[in-house]
Structure 1
Amino acid sequence: MKNRTNLSVVVGERIRQFRTKQDLSQEELAFASEIHPAYIGKVERGEKCPTIETLGKIANGLKIPLSKLIDISADTEPSESDALYRICSAMNGLSKAQMNQIAHIVEEITALMQNPS
């Protein structure tokens, strides 16, 4: 049982690190994850061992892949793949036409950023 407690503490700390790097309060993360704020605090302190379903909700609230949240050997620094994941998540549920419009907007913005006048 001791390993479970240690793993809960490590995962809780990772959640806290991701949350604070995004300047989110526990309440904001709880709202985005559809979880009670008190439960987020208990998970971060390692007092609760969340189910995989709950970890999935927390990962969605943090806008990171679940695999990144539970990979305790990985760094918590944002990566290029995190940005792409956030973009894909934001477009979830849009039509192909809407996604193409967003792709066009992103292309225009990146062109402006690469060639500032």
Structure 2
Amino acid sequence: MKEKEILKLVGARIRVLRKERGMSQESLGEKGGFHFSYIGQIERGEKNVALLNLDKIANALDVNVAQLFTYVNEEYEQTESDANVNEIIMMLRKSNPQQIAMAKNVLREIFNNK
């Protein structure tokens, strides 16, 4: 991988995750404890962000750090099914353990009755 290419890939991934959550750079910065201009520099691949800061950003985005490294392929177009699955995942992340267990049981019933 070319030098600094990883910075641009991670920055682009952070931008996609932020926009999927309807967050501005300001709101992500505030939630993660950073100035919005720092978030912009990261998203443009201008900053070599520390792992501890990546962890803070991931927490602010409500994802695990590994998801920051699932890079964006600019040629990839998200299907409606992909969008629906992502929406379900976001709902589950905001749910309590009992709601998650209930959702799992409902899905199990739906898929077992095919």
Tell me the amino acid that sits aligned with residue 21 of structure 2: Q
Secondary structure of 1:3's aligned partner: coil
Looking at structure 2, the residues matched to 27 and 9 of structure 1 have their Cα atoms a distance apart, in angstroms, of 20
Structure 1 gap ranges (5+): 92-98, 112-117
Output the TM-score relative to the length of structure 1. 0.64
Structure 2 gap ranges (5+): 107-114
Alpha-carbon shift at residue 83 of structure 1 (Å)? 4.5
Mapping of residues 33-44 of structure 1, within 5 Å: 33-44=32-43
Looking at structure 2, the residues matched to 45 and 73 of structure 1 have their Cα atoms a distance apart, in angstroms, of 13
Mapping of residues 88-99 of structure 1, within 5 Å: none
Is residue 39 of structure 2 the alignment partner of residue 66 of structure 1?
Answer: no
Q: 1:83 to 1:3 in 2, by over 3 A?
A: farther
Looking at structure 2, the residues matched to 79 and 15 of structure 1 have their Cα atoms a distance apart, in angstroms, of 17
* 1:86-107 deviations in Å (ceiling 9; x for gaps): 347xx7xxxxxxx7xxx37x85
Q: Please provide the CA RMSD for this pair.
A: 3.4
Tell me the amino acid that sits aligned with residue 61 of structure 1: A
Looking at structure 2, the residues matched to 14 and 37 of structure 1 have their Cα atoms a distance apart, in angstroms, of 17
Alpha-carbon shift at residue 4 of structure 1 (Å)? 3.3
Give aligned pairs, total.
Answer: 96
Is residue 44 of structure 2 the alignment partner of residue 45 of structure 1?
Answer: yes
Looking at structure 1, the residues matched to 49 and 70 of structure 2 have their Cα atoms a distance apart, in angstroms, of 15
* Conservation of the 8 A alpha-carbon contact between 1:16 and 1:44: yes
Output the TM-score relative to the length of structure 2. 0.66
Looking at structure 2, the residues matched to 24 and 41 of structure 1 have their Cα atoms a distance apart, in angstroms, of 13
